[in-house]
Amino acid sequence: MRYIPFGSDRREVSEIVLGLMRIGPGKTTANSMSVPEVGYLLDTALDTGINMLDNADIYANGACEEKLGEVFAARPELRQKFFLQTKCGIVKDPDFTYFDFSKEHILKSVDGSLARMKTDHIDSLLLHRPDALMEPEEIAEAFDILKASGKVLNFGLSNCSPMMIERLKKYLPMPIVADQIQLSAAFTPTLDAGFNFNTATDASIMRDGGIIEYCSFNDITIQAWSALQYGFFGGVFLGSEKYPVLNKVIDRIAEEKQVTNTAVALAWILRLPISVQAIIGTTKPQRVRDAAEAASFTLSRKEWYEIYLAAGNILP
C-alpha cells in the first residue's frame, strides 16, 4: 500500500479508501451486513494496508454509520486504527431530497454521526453536495465550533467546483483538505476538457472548472468516487458488454502484471501525478484485497493512455 499525507496534521492515509455506503440495509434487510461481517471487512482492509474509511449520514438513512458504530462498540481497538471520514449536507425529506449547509444543520449532523458511529471525533468531515443557498459565514462558524470542540479535525467538500471552494476559503479559519469527485477510466470529463482545449468539440467544454488542476495548486486531495463505474451510477464497467475494448486492454495489462482487473482500473486513477485517492465500495473481502493491489505498481504512460483511449475517448 502507498500512503499520502492528509489533512492539517499530515497524517499518512492509504491511497485506497474503503467506502461504507453498502454496509447498511439494502433493498431488503437480508442485504444488511452483520457486525462480525463488517468487522472482518475492516480487518481485511487493515491487512492490505487500507487505513481510511469513508461514510456519510445519508447512507441508508444513517444505518451505515450505525453499523460501523456497532462494530466500534464491539471492538473499540478498531476505531484508533482508522482515519474516519464522513459527510453531511444532504437532507432526505419525506417530500423530496435537498441540500443544507446551514450552521444548525452541520452541527446537528455531526452530533448525530458521532452518536451513531460511537466515536468522540471525526478525522475528516466533508460537505456532501453543493448547496446553492450556503452562507460561507455560517459554515465557517460551524467549522470553527467543531474544530475547537475536538469533534472534527479536518474539513473538506464533495462534488464542489473551484469557485465554490474559493468562496468558502474566503471565510474559513482552516484549510479545505479534500474534494470528492466522480472519476474513473470510464468517466473522464475532468480530463477531457484539458486534452481538447481550444478545439471546437463537445469534449472541450469545461464542466468542472478545472478541479484537478485547482486542487493540485492548492494542496487539496482529490478523492475519486464511483471509481469503477460509468455514467451516474450506470454500473461497473469491468466485465460490461458496453466496454469491450476497455475491458480487453485492462484484462491484458492485468495478466501482464499478474494483478486483477480491479487493480488496473484503480491504478489508472492513482497514476495521476497529484494527491489522489480512490474510494471503493465493495462489501466483499476478496474485492478489498484485489483493490489494494492497485497501490503496488504504477502504470506506464503508454498503458495509462491506452486505457483512456480504449474507453472510447479521442485525443486531438
Residue 30 has pLDDT above 60, yes or no: no
Residue 282 has pLDDT above 50, yes or no: yes
- pLDDT recorded at residue 26: 63
Encode pLDDT of 150-172 as tens digits: 999 999 999 999 999 999 999 99
Encode pLDDT of 115-133 as tens digits: 999 999 999 999 999 999 9
Of the candidates 129, 161, 126, the residue with the CA atom closest to the CA atom of residue 52 = 126
Residue 29 has pLDDT above 90, yes or no: no
Q: How many CB atoms lie within 10 A of CB 258?
A: 9
Mean pLDDT score of the chain: 95
Residue 28 has pLDDT above 60, yes or no: no
Q: Where are the chain's structural domains?
A: 3-310
Alpha carbon 195 to chain centroid, angstroms = 24
What's the CA gap between 242 and 93, in Å, rounded?
A: 35
Q: Distance of CA 69 to CAs 6, 120, 209, 212, Å?
A: 24, 11, 37, 33
Query: In this predicted structure, which of 22-26, 111-115, 242-246, 281-285 has the lowest mean pLDDT?
Result: 22-26
What's the average model confidence in pLDDT over 221-243? 95
Query: With bands split at pLDDT 50, 70 and 90, how would you rate the model's confidence at 31?
Result: low
What's the CA gap between 123 and 207, in Å, rounded?
A: 30
Domain 3-310 carries which CATH code?
3.20.20.100
Catalytic residue list: 59
- pTM, two decimals, is 0.95
**Torsion on CA atoms 287, 63, 35, 290, rounded to nearest 10:** 10
